[in-house]
Amino acid sequence: MMPLVTVIYDADALGDRSYNDLIYEGIERTALELGLRTMQHSPRTYDEGLQYLELMFRQMETAKDSVRRLFIVASTGYDEFIRKNNKRLEANPYADLLYLETRTPLEGKGSTLFMPYYGAMYEAGRIKAMTVYPKIMLVGANRQTESVIDAVQGYQDGFEAGLQLLTESQTRRAKLTTVWLDETGNGGFSIADTTALRLLLMWDAEQYQEVVPVCGGAFNAFSRMNSLVGLSLVGIDSFYDSYDSSYSVLKQIKEALNLCIRQWYSGQGIPKHQSLGLASGYMEVILNRPVEIWTPEGYTGDMVPILTEEMRQAIHEEAMRKEEEYER
């Protein structure tokens, strides 16, 4: 019988047109290429997700056949259950586990994959600080999700590093403000269109120019409502280009899962832990168009200066170093 790849997501995660949908698409594409069966489950509630996890672990630990099974957990919301139960799979040599978005390897059976956001977001913030009169609203889903915290911190650090190279008058005109959609919980990954419109109108009235939404599926509400407002909106997780967006920060989760599934399918196995950050190429900043920057000292041209490839490469290398320091 063909090998089986099973995925469980966070509650109501599928349909976000962002991170979770990218996982779904990537797994289906790889499965089609390799001839694998798939099952993908997005529970309605957290408790339903726990029940499904228990069912899958019970089936995998007691299976008497030799069918190869890979179980992928795409949410750190199940962290406690995973770490308490992963050793149950050791009884089945044909069962494997891949747990996404955690820095901490599993004790016992199972592999982990972490895609740090710090470096790519540092690079984005560092570039943005060089643009003319940057006024940025940085939006985090919540203060609990590790990848969101890393992304927000990276952007803040990169922006601050860029400001240090500007004159005092230039720095006074720059502005970066951070807000959280969910101040106390693990939410913020989806919001109503009315909420998105209210926030966008408020930020527009406060003369912010760009919104950087590190909030998963909530990006889509901002995108829909921004047609009524017209701020610059940055694509996070996937590429986004509109009339006024200048860059996107990509997490190549589809390609990363293609790598992991092929490692598993090859028989060599998925490494115990993999970290695929900016230096790996699985995280990157895509510029949608040339970036106009502050006039550098000594510049004598008639046109507004543009970020050069040499500048971009220097910032990229700086961001990789900063991510390595941050991860240590």
Predicted confidence at residue 246, as pLDDT, reads: 79
Does 289 or 158 have the greater pLDDT score? 158
pLDDT value for 185? 85
Q: Does residue 298 have a pLDDT over 60?
A: no
What per-residue confidence (pLDDT) applies to 40? 94
CA angle 110, 117, 267 (to 5 degrees): 30
**What global pTM score does this model have?**
0.92
Instruction: State how far the Cα of 317 lies from the Cα of 78, in Å rounded to an integer.
Output: 35
Residue type for 252, please? Q
- Predicted local distance difference test score (pLDDT) of residue 312: 94
- pLDDT given at position 297: 59
The percent of residues above 90 in pLDDT, for the chain, comes to 73
Determine which of 7-16, 121-130, 138-147 has the lowest per-residue pLDDT on average. Answer: 7-16
Superfamily of domain 4-116+253-280: Response regulator (3.40.50.2300)
* Same fold: 4-116+253-280 with 118-251+283-327: yes
Q: Which residue has the tokens 């760009």?
A: 210
> Can you give the residue ranges of every domain in the chain?
4-116+253-280, 118-251+283-327
Mean pLDDT of the chain: 91
Q: What are phi and psi of 69, to 5 degrees?
A: -130, 130
Pick left, alpha or beta for residue 269 (phi over 0 → left; psi -120 to 50 → alpha; otherwise beta).
left
pLDDT band at 169 (very low <50, low <70, confident <90, very high): confident
Q: What is the pLDDT of residue 302?
A: 61
Q: Is the predicted pLDDT of residue 229 greater than 90, yes or no?
A: yes
Residue 156 has pLDDT above 90, yes or no: yes
Does the pLDDT at position 206 exceed 90? yes
The pLDDT score that the predictor gives to residue 228 is: 92
Three-state SS for the chain is CCCEEEEECCCCCCCCCCHHHHHHHHHHHHHHHHCCEEEEECCCCHHHHHHHHHHHHHHHHHCCCCCCEEEEECCHHHHHHHHHHHHHHHHCCCEEEEEECCCCCCCCCCEEEECCCHHHHHHHHHHHCCECCCEEEEEEEECCCHHHHHHHHHHHHHHHHHHCCCCHHHHHHCEEEEEEEECCCCCCCCCCHHHHHHHHHHHHHCCCCEEEEECCCHHHHHHHHHCCCCCEECEEECCCCCCCCCEEEEECHHHHHHHHHHHHHCCCCCCCEEECCHHHCCEEEEECCCCEECCCCCCCCCCCCECCHHHHHHHHHHHHHHHHHHHC
pLDDT exceeds cutoff 80 at 20: yes
Superfamily holding 118-251+283-327? Response regulator (3.40.50.2300)
The C-alpha angle 184, 22, 140, rounded to 5 degrees, equals 25
Per-residue confidence band for 243, with pLDDT thresholds at 50, 70 and 90: low
Q: What is the pLDDT of residues 105-116, one digit of tens each?
A: 999 999 999 999
Kindly tell me if the per-residue pLDDT of 90 is higher than 70: yes
Residue 27 has pLDDT above 80, yes or no: yes
Q: Is the pLDDT of residue 166 over 90?
A: no
